[in-house]
Each structure stands twice: as C-alpha cells, then as structure tokens.
Amino acid sequence: MIDYIKGEITELTPANVVLETGGVGYFINISLTTYTALNGKTEAQLFVYEAIREDAHSLFGFMSRDERQLFLLLISVSGIGANTARVIMSSYTASEIQQMIAGGDVVSLNAIKGIGTKTAQRIIVDLKDKILKVGAGTDLKGGLFPTSSPVRDETVAALVMLGFAASASQKVVDKIIKDDPSLPVEKVLKLALKLL
C-alpha cells in the first residue's frame, strides 16, 4: 500500500492531479477541496488510497491522513463507492461531513448530488458511532478552511442547493463572514449571490 506521494505537480484539474516523482507521473483522483488547496502550488504531498479492482487500479489523494480516514469510512458504507465518496468530500469540508454524520443531519447529506434520503440515512447509521468515537469536535480540515459556524453552514448549503459549486460557495461565504462576522444568514446569502 502506498502511504503518500510527494512530488512536482505537472497537471492539475478539479478532478485529478499528476504528481511526478522519480521520473514517474502518478495520476491521482482528488476532491474539489483538495484541488482548491493545491491550486497555485508547484509541489505537493498527498496521502493516497489505492483502489484495486479487476478492471482498474486507481489512486485517490488527500491533503491529510484524517481526510483519507474519512474517505475510507465513507466507502465502507454499502452502496458508497470511491467516486461517490469523492463527490461527498467535494461538497463539504471533512469537518462539516463529520459534524453532519455525528449530528444525524440527513437533509445536508441529502443535498449532495447523487445522495438520496436512504443513502444519507445509511451513512449516518453506519458511521455515527465511529465518528463520535473519534470525537465530533476533532478538526479534520487540516487548516484548509476557517472554522464552520451555523451561519456559514446554512448559507453554503443554500448556495449548493441553488446549484452553485460547493468550493466556490465556501470561498465567497468565508470572505463575507470574515469581513463582517455579525451578519445573519439572509444577508450573507444575498451578498454571496451577487459575488458568485
């Protein structure tokens, strides 16, 4: 099993990155949150999960071991494959996903493209105890995003439901809240809609 790959970023798209190390370019599938973290960098170290099937060998990369651990928990749920887990991790930060599962937030999980109510419920039933064991307050974000707040979470969820990309929504909302932390959800949402 490959633990991590460290090397030069030779290609970067919202869905994957090519890391070159020792003259070999590794094609690694990534989430949008990882893409945002890598944007503008020339080198990176990604923790890797190697998915080996009869018809394919795929690599999935993460900024931290904790993110990879959350991914492994998600794919342990019946009906959640590696690509579905990547969509989930592209929609919210690892910390937000952990809080949703710990809090039994079916509505937010259900808002993710491709996740129906039954799948959202299954994720919560299967993973809630495991997440709570690690500690719902554990910071899995690896410092990629500011601490979430109810206003931030509600606004980002609303924007995602309106069809905006989660990563773009998070950036805009974080900037608005940083400038004026006292704003209510409605004002943050209106300002975000003007900026997106």
CATH code given to domain 66-134: 1.10.150.20
Q: Does domain 150-195 match CATH 1.10.8.10?
A: yes
Q: Closest Cα to residue 47, out of 11, 4, 111?
A: 4
**Contact of 35 with 67, CB cutoff 8 Å:** no
Cβ(46)–Cβ(34) under 8 Å? Answer: yes
> How much is the pTM?
0.67
Per-residue pLDDT tens over the stretch 55-107: 889 999 999 988 999 999 999 999 899 999 999 999 988 888 998 998 899 99
Centroid of chain to Cα 143: 13
Count of beta carbons in the 10 Å neighbourhood of residue 176: 22
Same fold across 66-134 and 150-195: no
pLDDT of residue 135: 54
Q: Which residue do the tokens 């099993």 mark? A: 1
pLDDT tens digit sequence for 138-188: 444 333 334 557 788 788 878 877 778 777 888 888 889 888 888 988 898
Classify residue 13 as left (phi > 0), alpha (psi -120 to 50) or beta. Answer: beta
pLDDT bin (cut points 50, 70, 90) of residue 48 is: very high
- The token pair at 57 is 């060998």
Angle, alpha carbons 38-191-31 (nearest 5°): 25
* Domain segments of the chain as ranges: 4-62, 66-134, 150-195
CATH number belonging to the domain at 4-62, selected among 2.40.50.140, 1.10.10.10, 3.40.50.300, 3.40.1110.10: 2.40.50.140
